[in-house]
Structure 1
Amino acid sequence: MLKKKNNRYSIFIKLMLLFLVFILLANFSIGFILSRIIGKGPPQGSPERFPVPVQKYIISRIGDPPDTNLARRVSDELQVNFRIESSGISWTNDESIPDIPRLREEKDFRSDGQNFIVRLRGRPIIVNKTDDGYIIFSPFMPRDLINETNVVIAVVLIITILAVMLYLALSWIFGPIKKLSEGVEMISEGNFDNTIIVNRKDELGNLAASINEMKENISSMIKSKESLLIDVSHELRSPLTRIKLANEFIDDPKIHNKIRDDVKEMELMITELLETYRMDHEQGKFSIEKADIVKLIKDVISKFEFKDIQFSSQFAEKEIFIDRRKIETVFRNIIDNAVKYSEGRTVAVDIYERDENRDSVFVSVKDKGRGIEEEELGKIFEPFYRIDKSRDKKIRGYGLGLSLVKKILEGHNAEIEVKSRKNEGTEFIVTFKKGITNK
């Protein structure tokens, strides 16, 4: 039994650490960029506030009416941004400072005020009213140094890089899931030779080890079951031979015939069982040759004691590539089932092509028996599945025939379709693709 490994590196812990690192990196990166930009501070000599004496000093320096040349010189000396709006004069050293018509739209604007502040989108704008106009100051704010476009680009770039790193980290953490999925899919298809290799000391590593152990256990159980069936099948041949020999000395015809039929039934079961085993373990080993399917089916029909089998064919002969012996087994089983379940009614066998599909040959076997329930149609190809749960001795068969039929047809790239209606009968349609088969 597999010992449960200690999860030294739990996936939960990995995810917690990963998201913690991601958050720290995101905050650090964005904070670093903003601090580098804002941390530069205002230009040397540019006041962050505009006390009233400073405003009065600037207003007195530029004169009344304002002289734009003096205004330019003062703004350069003090590195102050302002706008002059007066009769006949409109000047500014910063086009971002709003004019009076724009400021009048704000609720903070006071037409009768001499010195007041208007907040425009959270930014304080200082308005000084003069005799013939206004002088508008825009105080320096740290965010003035921020180029919003560059900040957005930087933040988006950082988030993108971190997202890619997060994706790569998550891909590494959950990477084994793909291997696990592929391994489980192969197991579901009956391939027990593949081993899932996940060199991890976490839950996924434990899961891979558990799946490998489960696969080995299932494979061992299947092999044990197959070995038992094959051994029993071989061992039964000798006593059956002795029974057949002893039966020849029984004088009572009724008892003799009953024993003979039972022995034949057991021999058929053993033959089908061994053939099914060979199909499972010798996949692809077919003796493919060109054969006349019309003649082959006629030969199969001729071996039945039941004579009410109506045969029809669209062609006098039709050659396709098949394993003659195995395809004989296919139609012997299908026709035998049709005869058993027809309850004495006619069985129709037809070979034809379809106008819309000239690349295929179709063989139909149709009876007028009791039919098959819709919920059972998908199960009839399972080994040992019987439609007749009562085990009626009049309807022999041990559920191996149709399973063997499907395996043989799959080896020929052929298809089989079943149509059935309760109390109206069942039709098996086998489709051979011309010139295509597994060799």
Structure 2
Amino acid sequence: MFGFWKAKTKPGLHHRNRHSIFLKLIGIFLLAGLLLNLLGFGFFRLGRSWQEENRLEDTVLFLLESAILRLGTPPDRALALQMKEQQDLAIAYSPDPEALVPDMNFRRQRGESPDSALDASNGAMHDASFNFLNPRSDFEEEDFYLNTGNVLDFHEGQLTARIRRPEGTFWIQYQFGGPDGNPWGILAFLITLSGVLLLAYSLMRRTLKPIKALMTGVQETSRGNLDYRIKLHRRDELGQLASLYNDMQGKIQSMLESRRQLLLDVSHEIRTPLTRMKLSLEFIPESRRTEALKEEIRLLDTMLTEVLENERLSSLHGALQPRYQSLEPMLQRCIQRFSVAGIRIEHSLEDVSASYDEARMAIAIQNLLENAVRHTDPQNRSISLDLQRDGDTAIITIQDNGTGIPEKEKDRIFEPFYRKAAKPSEKPIQESGSSAGFGLGLSLVHRIVESHGGTIQLESSTDHGSKFTIRIPLTRSRAE
């Protein structure tokens, strides 16, 4: 009565979830790291005033001019080559004080032909020039064309400069890093980044491990397993949540067990006066009134039996007592009880053995047969009980030609206290040995069959009656 029904879990619940909170936290972690780096770089840039940048540029130009002065006048080619080899400082020189880029003077930039009359005077200047720059040097920045004075540019790890002197124009190049730098730099960066991500993943996984344990606990609770406890030894909020879950499980279990025990005690107390009433009726002369009283007492006793069996199967002390034996004798006894009451049950029984609790299974079959009797017309009744074997499964089928069950009620027919809604035009069928009940019969059947590791299936229509099919494994049931 107070038992838990099995909850339907969503497909793929144990698979990796693309909306996982774990992945979201990893994303937040990476985004926060990126933003912190950007903010740090931004504040660093904002903290540097234009005066400081200008002062730094003047200092670099001063150092470069110092290097140029070491070359002498005119510049010493051998000393310039030595600077390139030892200090990695590449220098180009042109005697033309108006040249913009290496090997290209101001007149050529304006499109004048090198075959002009000035070539003779310029020949000497070209003979004094030299170029030890990297062939891939980039002097295509706009500043080198728009600014006719000194230019200093730092781009992609490379310093390029143009310095005007009375003796001519100098271009200087210095490589700090970049594509021509350390080839292992990018690999080292990727390895370091992978290590950081792996460490973050491990820490996140360990931190969020209790969430998975809590999910498992909630699933066990939905299945009715109130004995499950989460084993965590943590002092953070997730550990406290796990502790609260364990306390909740214990309180619910204690509360439900108390209610079950109260119901069992009350049912036993009610059965005692019923027994005294039965004994008292034995000393009263037979009459239609005494027969009616006996029938009412029998109905009350049947209802109490259903309530008690429901609670025994739900309680901790209501385990089945299965024994491997034939199903046929038990079914024959059920048929015999109805034959005594004048109700014919057509049957076809094979000799099939299984591991089952005879008393509980007899209650299930009895309830199904009573349900068939209750919903069939005595003048045109057809009830059949069949037993056959299909591989490792015993199949018990009970079929009638009664009023059937509407399609919309099939999913609820095995719920406790649920009763089929009667149609206005449907006359109640009453006879000796049947009763309307109060909705525990089929619920009890469902519990008994599932306790044996089996299943029960309903096929019904309002035109052809109902058919209940019970499948029980022949091997030892999970109740053992």
**TM-score normalized by the length of structure 1:** 0.69
Count of residues in Structure 1 that have an aligned counterpart in Structure 2: 385
What residue identity is the alignment partner of 1:215?
A: Q
User: 29, 54, 64: which one pairs with 2:68?
Assistant: 54
2:385 alignment partner, SS class? strand
Task: Give the deviation of 1:119 after TM superposition.
Answer: 7.3
Change (3 A) 1:381 1:155: same
Q: Given the alignment of the two structures, is residue 415 of structure 1 paired with residue 455 of structure 2, yes or no?
A: yes
* Identical positions, percent: 26
Q: Structure 2 stretches of 5 or more lacking a match?
A: 1-24, 42-59, 94-101, 104-125
- In 1: Cα distance, 2:392 partner to 2:219 partner: 33
Q: Distance in 2 between matches of 1:265 and 1:144?
A: 94
1:135 deviation in Å? 9.6
2:84 maps to what in 1? 75
Q: What pairs up with 1:204-215 in 2 under 5 angstroms?
A: 204-215=238-249
1:325 equivalent to 2:359? Answer yes
Query: For residue 324 of structure 2, what is the amino acid of its counterpart?
Result: E
**Quick one: distance in 2 between partners of 1:401 and 1:48?**
102
Q: Which amino acid aligns with 1:303?
A: R
CA distance in 2, matches of 1:78, 1:202: 58
Question: 1:112-154: per-residue Cα shift (whole Å, max 9, x none)?
Answer: 999986979666655799xxxx998442264569947544444
Contact 2:322 2:355 (8 Å CA) reproduced? no
In 1, Cα distance between the equivalents of 2:354 and 2:67?
109
Distance 1:209 1:77 in 2: 70
- Corresponding residue number in structure 2 for 1:312: 348
Equivalence map 1:99-138=2 (5 Å): 125=160, 137-138=171-172
Q: Secondary structure at the match of 2:411?
A: coil
Residues 418 and 49 of structure 1: is their aligned pair in 2 closer, same or farther, counting only changes over 3 Å?
farther
Q: Which residue of 2 aligns with 1:164?
A: 198
| Structure 1 pair 389–282 and aligned structure 2 pair: CA distance change class (3 A) | farther
1:398 is matched with: 438
Partner of 1:176: 210
The residue that corresponds to 2:260 in the other structure is: 226
Match of 1:288 in 2: 323
C-alpha deviations, 1:63-118, integer Å up to 9, x for none?
A: xxxx7x675345346642146987999975645435xxxx67x77776x9999869
Distance in 2 between residues matched to 1:309 and 1:59, nearest whole Å: 127
What is the CA RMSD across the aligned residues, in angstroms? Answer: 4.6
Of 371, 378, 390, the residue aligned with 2:411 is 378
Distance change in 2, residues 1:296/1:172 (3 Å): same
The aligned counterpart of 1:387 is 420
Instruction: Say whether residues 1:247 and 2:281 are aligned partners.
Output: yes
Q: Distance in 1 between matches of 2:437 and 2:242?
A: 42
Once the two structures are TM-superposed, the CA of residue 362 in structure 1 deviates from its matched residue by 1.9
TM-score by length of 2: 0.64
Q: What is the CA-CA distance between 1:59 and the residue it aligns to?
A: 9.1
SS at match of 1:81: strand
3-state DSSP class of the match of 1:303? helix
From the superposition, tell whether residues 19 and 321 of structure 1 become closer, same or farther in structure 2 (CA, over 3 Å). Answer: closer
Q: Which amino acid aligns with 1:350?
A: D
Q: Residues of 1 paired with 2:472 and 2:69: CA distance?
A: 100
Q: CA deviation at 1:251?
A: 4.9
| Cα displacement (A) at 1:256 | 1.7
CA distance in 2 between partners of 1:365 and 1:136 (Å): 107
1:338: which partner in 2?
372
SS in 2 for 1:290: strand
Secondary structure in 1 aligned to 2:412? coil
Structure 1: runs of 5 or more not aligned: 1-14, 32-45
